[in-house]
Amino acid sequence: MSRRRRTAPTTRPPAVPAGDASWTSLRESLAGCVNCGKCLPDCPLYQLSRREEDGVRGKLNVLRWQMDAGLPPSPAATRLFWRCLLCLRCQDACPSGLELVRILDAARTALHARGLAPVPGRPGARRAALIVRAVRRNRAAPVRLPLRPRTSLLPLPPVGDGRPAPLLVSPLGRVVWGGALVAAAALFRRGGFDPVVQVLRGPSPVRLHWRGDADGLRTVLAAAFTGAPKPTTLLFLEPELAALWRAHGAPAQVIDLEDWLLSGGAAVRLDAPPVTALPAPVPMAAAGWRDWLAQWRGLAPAAWRPPPAESQGLRAEQLVSIDPPVARDLARRWLRLAGATGAEAVALTSPRTQSWLRSGGDAGLPLRPLAILAAGGPA
The tens digit of pLDDT for each residue in 306-364 reads 333 333 333 333 333 444 454 455 455 555 545 544 555 555 544 444 443 344 333 33
Contacts of 219 (CB under 8 A, 6+ apart): 202
pLDDT at 241 over 50: yes
What band does 228 get if pLDDT is binned at 50, 70 and 90?
low
30-39, 166-175, 231-240: range with lowest mean pLDDT = 231-240
pLDDT at 359: 42
Domain boundaries, the chain: 21-118, 164-278+316-374
Mean pLDDT, to the nearest integer, of 294-300?
A: 39
- The rounded distance, in Å, linking the Cα atoms of 63 and 375 is 43
For 199, phi then psi, to 5°, come to -95, 130
Q: How far is CA 354 from the centre of its chain?
A: 8
Q: What is the CATH number of domain 21-118?
A: 1.10.1060.10
CA distances from 45 to 30, 40, 100, 279, 358 (A): 21, 9, 15, 13, 13
Per-residue pLDDT reduced to its tens digit, 69-98 = 665 556 666 777 778 877 777 887 887 778
Minimal CA–CA distance to 92: which of 179, 211, 237, 246?
211
Q: How confident is the model at residue 12 (pLDDT cuts 50, 70, 90)?
A: very low
52 pLDDT band, cuts 50/70/90, is: confident
Q: Which residue has the higher pLDDT, 318 or 220?
A: 220
Percentage of the chain beyond pLDDT 90 is 0
More confident residue, 365 or 210: 210
Average pLDDT, the chain: 57
For residues 79 and 372, give the distance between their C-alpha atoms in angstroms, rounded to a whole number. 31
Q: Return the pLDDT at 188.
A: 66
| Mean pLDDT of all residues in 267-291 | 33
d(CA 71, CA 15): 8
Q: What is the pLDDT of residue 107?
A: 80
Q: Give the per-residue pLDDT at 283.
A: 32
> Taking a C-beta distance cutoff of 8 angstroms, is the pair 198, 185 a contact?
no
> What mean pLDDT comes out for the span 39-58?
81
Confidence (pLDDT) at 269: 35
